Amino acid sequence: MNHPQPNNPLHGLSLEKILTRLVERYGWDGLYAEISVNCFHNDPSIKSSLKFLRKTQWARDKVEALYINTFT
């Protein structure tokens, strides 16, 4: 059931890749300034942030929206 998604700018990108690019661009402090989520402020890491974002849809939506606004 894999359907091409030509209009989806996130197609083919994993959440880890999205988060890594955002951290490279903004740094953890800048990312926290854009999206006030504690996992970006208190002892941040890719692993702990991914764990939180996979469980918390509203935060994941904000991260994906920031990625789209930043890189497209």
Query: Does residue 59 lie in a domain region?
Result: yes
At 3 the pLDDT is 62
Question: Domain containing 37 — which CATH number?
Answer: 1.10.720.30
Report the number of distinct structural domains present in the chain.
1
Query: What digits encode the pLDDT tens for the residues 38-59?
Result: 999 998 999 999 999 999 999 9
Query: Does residue 47 lie in a domain region?
Result: yes
Count of helices and strands (H, E) across the chain = 3, 0
Distance separating the N- and C-terminal Cα atoms of the chain = 27
Place of tokens 């930043």: 70
What is d(CA 40, CA 27) in angstroms, rounded to the nearest whole number?
9
Gyration radius (Cα) of the chain, Å: 12
- Which tokens in the block code for residue 37? 């989520």
Q: Which domain holds residue 64?
A: 15-71
Query: Does residue 6 lie in a domain region?
Result: no
At 12 the pLDDT is 84
